[in-house]
Chain A
């Protein structure tokens, strides 16, 4: 069965000062349910590429399509909240004043019961359901990252974008979390773009790996 293209990037170029291009002529298609790892060193433009896909950065050149729908071009941009993408970052971004379950419920639409049930399901899936009423500063870094991924998946995004999500974890935790995350993404057929500088992250999670070097895809 031919899989749909979930994300399509055409002729993406980007610079912050209109001179030095941090991304140069990026063309990329990602299939539905595929986990794509973008490997690159610091400053290679991989985080900028994620910000462009999310809509946090304004696209100046090229076109971005999600499931065939143009979400950004030179003169047009759909705001991040209408792109149906989830975002997981390296740093700890759980809201510190909200409990674990309130964090996961934050992005879920629907009535109170539905939101609570969905949040509980995801917390069980990531094996952090025992911390439902705990606050982020009382749980470990690995558990916080599990909650952050659960929160990103909770609204049911079509594409999950992960920017160095395992960078701050120790090796044992990384291994577990990579495995669980991959399993959940595959089960729910969620397309994922994983940006990392760690080859081990890429090898253990991705269906396909590309290398970004000096703003260009290195073949």
Chain B
């Protein structure tokens, strides 16, 4: 049944309430603070935090996507059930709180660094970006895997069957057939993981190197000191970065429909 007149108007208003309270209102207030209080929006600290966030997001998103792709490809090509099981196990990382993950990684790195120290090698892993990237990968693997797994399911097994009869290696099959056909899925995975990494706070707070700020850490630091106006700039940046994948993904979904032009 289609609603008409005032019913339709009130239904629309009702549906807009969560969007208004959760998104439009805070964004208006953040923009208001940023403009009217004449704070230095693009100061050096902000730009440095933004650069750090983007760098981490890109590295973690790329590595996470590649790991998920390679695991799924090998499981499919070799029919390796152990890898399928490993992939399902890795997906549990999404449910683990960042704080717990950070403690686990810190403990592991302390043990490894201590064993290096026996050979008079200084601390390498503790407080480095490696721990942070590992934490992001474990936390976001489920996002990458579900995107890539569904992409692989859309590729007919007959492509693999026919390819296997040609005298070509699995590597050639991977980069000539699967990689191009999964292009949209890989890009989706990179965007999803990237936006997830930029928002991640607990693991970043614990594992980040000394004096290494990200947008989420900056926003948290300002907010915890009740400097809400200064927190506005990094918060808006996080919202924009989070929105980008949604806009790009919805365009990609729209364009994948028959009759639509690409991009």
Interface, chain A (partner B; CB < 8 A): 51, 54-56, 79-83, 85-87, 89, 91, 93, 95-97, 106-107, 109, 151-152, 155, 157
Contact = CB atoms under 8 A, between A and B. Distances in A.
B177 interface: yes
A81 B162 contact: no
Q: Counting chain A CB atoms within 10 Å of each CB, which of B164, B168, B180 scores highest?
A: B164
B164 A79 contact: yes
Contacts of A151: 162
Contact of B165 (A80, A91, A96, A109): A80
Contacts of A51: 161
Interface in B161-176: 161-168, 176
A87 B168 contact: no
Given A81-B164, A89-B162, A152-B165, 10 more contacts: A51-B161, A54-B165, A81-B166, A81-B168, A86-B165, A87-B161, A93-B159, A93-B161, A106-B168, A107-B165
A116 B4 CA distance: 63
Interface residues of B, number: 15
Task: Across the A-B interface, give the 10 residue pairs with the lowest CB-CB distance, nearest first.
Answer: A107-B166, A80-B164, A93-B158, A87-B165, A97-B180, A81-B167, A80-B165, A93-B162, A89-B158, A56-B161
Contacts of B177: 95
A134 to B, nearest CB: 17
A107 B168 contact: yes
Contacts of A157: 165
A180 B181 CA distance: 32
B211 interface: no
Contact of A109 (B159, B163, B167): B167
A87 B162 contact: yes
B181 A97 contact: yes
B28 to A, nearest CB: 45
A87 B163 CA distance: 9
B164 A91 contact: no
A22 B222 CA distance: 69
B156 interface: yes
Contact of A107 (B158, B167, B181): B167
Nearest to A157: B165
Contacts of A93: 156, 158-159, 161-162
A151 B159 CA distance: 13
Contacts of B181: 95-97
Which of B156, B162, B167, B176 lies at the interface centre, i.e. has the most chain A CB atoms within 10 A of its CB?
B162
Nearest to A82: B167
Contacts of A81: 164-168
Contacts of A82: 167
Interface string B131-174: 00000000000000000000000001011011111111000000
